[in-house]
Structure 1
Amino acid sequence: MGSPELPSLSRRGFCLCCVGGAFAATTGWLTPRQAYAEARGLVSVIKDSAATSPITITKLRNNISVLEGSGGNIAVLTGPDGKLLVDAGIGVSRPRLTNALAELGKEPIAHLINTHWHFDHADGNEWLQAAGAKIIAHENTRKHLSVVQRVEDWDYNFLALPPSAVPAQVFAREHQLKVNGASIAMKYYGPAHTDGDISVMFTEANVLHVGDTYWNDIYPFIDYSTGGSINGMIAASDANLAVANNDTIIIPGHGKPVSNKAELQAFRDMLVAIRDNVGNLKKQGKSRDEIVAAKPTAAFDARYGQFLVDPGFFTRLVYEGV
């Protein structure tokens, strides 16, 4: 079967979700591995879609905005010290991201923070570094971007980025930055979605970018190939909830780009409930396929399970970690 023609990425979804919608319309739900076989490779399809996807700007507060349409949600802080970005999107989005950044102001690009190493958050590192960005990340993110890195669930080997595109400044636990009058606090979660995830808090604005530790109204992908786990995702959610209050604007890695503590709490509770459901069935001696058939995610599927990380695939991810 040839590759289905894909629409541009939804402003309210993640590129995986939109790819999933295109596949669902033609073939029914596919796991990522099936999608890879059907359509030249899932990663290639996502990049092709990002090449034409529009970029949508949502302004938040204190000169902070969020850009949708190139992989993960990108936060942008503007001001006289130059623009600071949280995550880089996919490289083929450069023309549209350049236009969106220009709409936010004439300041040059000065800083880039990678929340983790995945291509939909770091593929744009090369052009942003060439444009002037100093790249900051956790030390494990630099490690993964510096070598050929395989993600088994995507059946894909990612090449190392050029040395200039690899984060030049890394940290192990915490890092502070003062840019454009904003205090920016970066904290390492420990292994969560990957083994290099960090949060980025804009302190005065009370805006928190949590990367892929939170997918708004979407079952998340968990990358066991590079240290992720269901328990780590729950621990990261707990850490996010601990620093948020009812006025905190939370930027998730994927899904609707503006969220809050109540929605994050619901996401965390969903993760715990499904982990416990799958864990209890596994303790009873059920096989992975038997557990998938038992539909341990059923109570949450209408809200979280309508995209490519479908209920069966998410159950398999959880099974691997309990």
Structure 2
Amino acid sequence: MNAQQSNTISRRRFLGTAGFLATGLWLAPKNLFAFQEATSPVVTIINAAKTAKVTVTPLRKNISMLEGSGGNIAVLNGPEGKLMVDGGIGVSKANVLEALNSISANPVKFLINTHWHFDHTFGNEWLHGEGATIVAQDVTKKHLESTVRVDDWNYTFPPMPKAALPTMVYSKEHKMNFNGEAIHISTYKPSHTDGDSSVHFANADILHVADTFWNGYFPFVDYSTGGSIDGMIAASKQNIARAGKDTIVIPGHGPLGNKADLMEFHEMLVTVREKVASLKQAGKSLDEIIAAKPTEKYDAKYGGFVISGKMFTNLVYKGV
């Protein structure tokens, strides 16, 4: 797939509901917007996911991308069954299952968690019930089996049930062969969280980089579990180094991408970080830095989803 082809794929919102996006609730830093636990953006997202349409985009070599239930999902299908990268939100089970069955009737044998966030792992329990072995980094498992508070979401996540926990765990990397595809799972240093992984389908040359790359959107940085803006920049460099000219890149959110999209995303991260850091070092307050609009150059392209330029400025400010 070339750049022109990837750019023709519609920019579907992962919840598929314009009304939800208009609320501007998801990922709003608590010092910009005040939430009660009952109206946390996590609750809003889960409720919207109950009816969100899940779409299937065939890629190559029996690999498809599913959009609509949380983060983007990759599915490798073949005679040995299906392997999924991320499982979306559990309340989307009916629509995710319908999408999976539209690919084939083969059962799901493996589910890889790229990181612990709910919009990528809340499908774990039901997919395990379907027969999937859950694969994840040890740090990801640690968060899933613990109580985790995310202040920027104003939400406390209780431990996941035992059936939702990974049983095949790795520390740095993991390799698999499934349906004739060589699969290489690699970790990042702390970036989006402290437990992010990418999944490379070597034969198909498809790279799922999860939430280390939001294609066309400002990303979330989860400081509550070890994320950092500098880590995001390092991860984006790692993604660029791994992508070739023909690599299809699956982001955590947004449309399919390629190496050029990764490079543009990296340039945005570096530029905003440098501007915010310079202003902060000059003694400017957060309000003054927001008023200076350090993201202005990128707002039209990256600010149309769940994180505005103001929100992203706040996240960068925390880490410089």
TM range (shorter): over 0.9
Equivalence map 1:1-322=2 (5 Å): 12-15=12-15, 18=18, 21-23=21-23, 31-33=28-30, 34=33, 36-37=35-36, 40-256=39-255, 258-322=256-320
Post-superposition offset of 1:106: 1.4
Count residues in correspondence: 309
Is the CA contact (8 Å cut-off) linking 1:210 and 1:253 kept in structure 2? yes
What is the one-letter code of the residue matched to 1:116? H
Q: Answer yes or no: is the 8 Å Cα contact 1:35–1:42 preserved in 2.
A: no
The verdict on how the C-alpha distance between 1:222 and 1:19 changes in structure 2, with shifts beyond 3 A counting, is farther
Alpha-carbon deviation of 1:265?
A: 0.7
Preserved contact between residue 57 and residue 66 of structure 1 (Cα < 8 Å) = yes
Q: CA deviation at 1:20?
A: 5.5
Q: 1:18 to 1:321 in 2, by over 3 A?
A: farther
Q: Deviations over 1:175-222 (max 9, x none)?
A: 100000000000000101000000000000000000100001000000
8 Å CA contact 2:111–2:133 kept in 1: the answer is yes
* Partner amino acid, structure 2, of 1:59: P
Report the CA distance between 1:255 and its aligned residue. 1.1
Measured against aligned partners, the alpha-carbon deviations of 1:43-73 in whole angstroms (never above 9, x if no partner) come to 1110111100111000000000000000000
Counterparts of 1:172 and 1:194, CA distance in 2: 15
Q: Which amino acid aligns with 2:21?
A: G
For the residues of structure 2 that align with 1:37 and 1:15, how far apart are their CA atoms? 22
Residues 225-234 or 29-38, more deviating:
29-38
SS of 1:177's partner is strand
Give me the whole-angstrom Cα distance separating, in 1, the residues matched to 2:136 and 2:251.
17
Aligned equivalents of 2:252, 2:292: Cα separation in 1: 29
Task: Kindly provide the CA deviation profile for residues 25-60 of structure 1, in whole angstroms up to 9, marking residues without a partner as x.
Answer: xx9x99354374497221111011110011100000
The one-letter amino acid of 1:14's match is F
2 CA distance for matches of 1:99 and 1:35?
37
The whole-number CA distance in structure 2 between the counterparts of 1:173 and 1:151 is 25
Tell whether the 8 Å contact from 2:15 to 2:70 is kept in structure 1 after alignment. yes
Task: State the secondary structure of the residue aligned to 2:257.
Answer: coil
Greater CA deviation, 307-316 or 214-223? 307-316
Distance in structure 1 (CA, Å) of the matches to 2:299 and 2:17: 14
Query: Residue type of the partner of 1:198?
Result: S
Deviation, structure 1 residue 167? 0.6
Q: Distance in 1 between matches of 2:279 and 2:212?
A: 25
1:212 partner letter? D
In structure 2, what is the Cα distance between the partners aligned to 1:282 and 1:145?
Answer: 35
Counterparts in 2 of 1:16 and 1:172: CA distance versus 1, 3 Å: farther
> How high is the TM-score relative to the length of structure 2?
0.92
How large is the RMSD of aligned CA atoms in angstroms?
1.9
Between the aligned partners of 1:19 and 1:84, the Cα distance in structure 2 is: 33
1:304 to partner: Cα distance: 0.3
Query: CA offset at residue 287 of structure 1?
Result: 1.2
Local SS of the residue matching 1:106: coil
Structure 1 partner of 2:4: none
- State whether residues 19 and 46 of structure 1, in contact with CA within 8 Å, keep that contact through their aligned partners in structure 2: no
